[in-house]
Chain A
Amino acid sequence: KQEVTQIPAALSVPEGENLVLNCSFTDSAIYNLQWFRQDPGKGLTSLLLIQSSQREQTSGRLNASLDKSSGRSTLYIAASQPGDSATYLCAVGYNNNDMRFGAGTRLTVKP
Chain B
Amino acid sequence: DAGITQSPRYKITETGRQVTLMCHQTWSHSYMFWYRQDLGHGLRLIYYSAAADITDKGEVPDGYVVSRSKTENFPLTLESATRSQTSVYFCASSENPGNSNQPQHFGDGTRLSIL
Contact = CB atoms under 8 A, between A and B. Distances in A.
Contact of B33 (A31, A97, A100): A97
A31 B99 CA distance: 10
Interface stretch (A14-22, A43-51, A68-76, A77-85): A43-51
Contact of B42 (A52, A98, A101): A101
Interface residues of A: mostly helix, strand, loop or mixed?
strand
Interface string A29-53: 0011010100001111110010110
Contacts of B58: 97-98
B106 A44 contact: yes
A49 B109 contact: no
A24 to B, nearest CB: 13
Interface in B1-31: 4, 31
Contacts of B97: 93, 95-97
Interface residues of B, number: 28
Interface string B43-70: 1110010100000101000000000000
Q: Which of B92, B96, B103, B109 has the most CB of A within 10 A?
A: B103
A32 B41 contact: no
A47 B42 CA distance: 17
Contacts of B40: 103
B43 A49 contact: no
A7 interface: no
A99 interface: yes
B90 A98 contact: no
Contacts of A93: 97, 100
Nearest to B111: A41
B42 A42 contact: no
Interface of A: 4, 31-32, 34, 36, 41-46, 49, 51-52, 89, 91, 93, 95-104
Given A96-B96, A100-B42, A103-B42, 7 more contacts: A4-B42, A34-B104, A41-B108, A43-B107, A44-B92, A93-B97, A102-B42
